[in-house]
Chain A
Amino acid sequence: MTLPTPGAATSPRARWRRLVASDLWHDFTRSPLPMLAAAIALLCLGGALFAPWLAPHDPFDLARLDLADSHLPPAWLADGRATYVLGTDDQGRDILSALLYGARISLTVGLCSVGLSVLMGVTAGLLAGFLGGVVDALLMRLCDVMLSFPPILVALFIDGVGRLLFPQARDLLAFAVLILALTLTDWVRYARMVRAATLVERHKEYVQAARLVGVSTWRLLRRHVLPNVLGPVLVLATIQVGQAIVTEATLSFLGVGVPPTNPSLGTLIRVGNDFLYAGEWWITLFPGIALVLIAMSVNLLGDWLRDALNPRLR
């Protein structure tokens, strides 16, 4: 495989040299589209990460909001003002600032849920593949049931159940319910994939050898099997980050996602949608463009990574 394996190279410089020398990097530097996608993804990530420093205004400081500044179009239109580059919404919030903070929330929810579902799915997959028997049968039947429904419906159902269980869910709890819904929807794919790979690995000599030496099951799974099944998981996780961000935005757009006090990109689009008929397209369009840019660039990177790591397509 061409993935630089962690642990093999010790110093950061040696790792960097290995990365540059790898086929993957070679492929990457010669494909303009993935490079553009990576640039856009990094830009969005940077914008989200440094939102408090980059944003020209603080959109959540109620004291500094002025209703006289509401409904302003972008700066290049007739009534626009230079301080509000992308215009303002109905409460006088700067769209650009709200967008940066919104991207921060969207990315946080997306990355958290993907991280959690990788953790959950990989653990379940390793256990199912390695232990077999009842554990395997139960887990895989559960996967079958969940995979026969589209993810957005599963997420909506779990979200609905979460709302039934915690009727007073506000702010932090609402975030937890949302991330949990996305996680419980996603983990199945990793579990399936890792289980299949583990079934292959468990019969190989190195596993038998490790067993003979008396390595405990947990350590065997973590240190020996896991590194060998992680490649495809990485690809899937990349694609799923884009998917999770879009799912989050959809749930928020439908009004069952993040609380309105902390608007994500989806919430911003939902709010702006009401002003579409008044001709105020900028309130909804700019968050929409940001969402599409993030989703597209992550998808492109994932597609490229999948093809680049697939020996059949070389």
Chain B
Amino acid sequence: MRDVAIIGVGMTKFGELWDQNIRDMFAEAALKAMEDAGVKKLDAMYVGAMSSGLYTFQEHIASVMADYIGQVGIPSTRVESACASGGLAVKSAIIEVASGMSDIVLAGGVEKMWDADDGSMILATAADQEYEGFHGVTFPGLYAMMANAYMDRYGLTREELAQVPIKNHKHAINNPNAQYPFPLNLDGVLKSSMVADPLRLMDCSPITDGAAAVIVCPLDRAKEFTNKPIKVKGIGAATGPIALHDHKDLTRLDAVRLAGERAYKMAGVTKDDIDFVEVHDCFSIAEIIVAEELGFFGYGEAGKAIANGQGTYGGRIVINPSGGLKAKGHPVGATGTAQILEAVTQLRGDAGKRQVKDAKIGMTQNMGGSGGSSVVHILEAV
């Protein structure tokens, strides 16, 4: 297997992009990434999207996008793993280059969510339809059960839980691509609409339109394209129980732990080597559990630690410098790709006011459903 590097990144602004359809968004991100890498011709591409069919009635989007960005003829593959689609698309592109099959490969993620009438039901297709969906449970309800179990067991308070979105909004203020770059205070969280007790609106990631893309190539060719290549140091992916009731413990996300362990092993690093992490904070409680499963805090400790400033600049580790899903936005199929883009931006030292000082190694963690899948990347500035 060859070492692989990321040589180009690009994304749209995240938000309500009423003037752009799914292909416009993908093309904007892909062409920006290609321009960033200085490549005009791809060998192959991967497109991550959770549900372009239900959201926009457009399937077959791997070919649509290859055609629309002027690369018709190359192999192009759709990757779907619910909200982890974007992260797995990047993983697939990396493996294609590592295997020697291709040299210049694009991985993009996209989701056009605002055109749909009932997005909740579309998102709920990522849950276990027979045991969860048909009974009316949607993701806020599933994560609310996890939050209740966690708060009950570890004594996390509602006020402490609120510190997760407050921190992420603070980070997003310095991200020009963020959907909601506004400050959020405790009152703003605690008085926001109740969605699924104890989760309020400000605990929930938003509906977002957006796309992101990265270009990968063999590490030994990376300097042809950029003087700041970012090495892919480790990848880990795993599946977990699709239904929440099959989790052995409601306060754990096994797929995240397994994916993290595999990525650490491949990278040959430990949690102490990671300078920052982009995690899948689809709901406030998710960030807390994920931070524990990745080893940054002991079980039952992440919530209080984040509330005490350990998840931001000057703390134990900067979690979600981009603003995370909550404040940067969560176009589900694009989220994992955008996490990689944030990590690359940080490792290049190009993150401006949200730059994590002396960032050398960064991690991203992308997740599908209530832990039915997860993918972790560890990247390094070389």
Do these two chains interact?
no
Q: Report which A residues bind B (CB closer than 8 A).
A: none
Q: Report which B residues bind A (CB closer than 8 A).
A: none
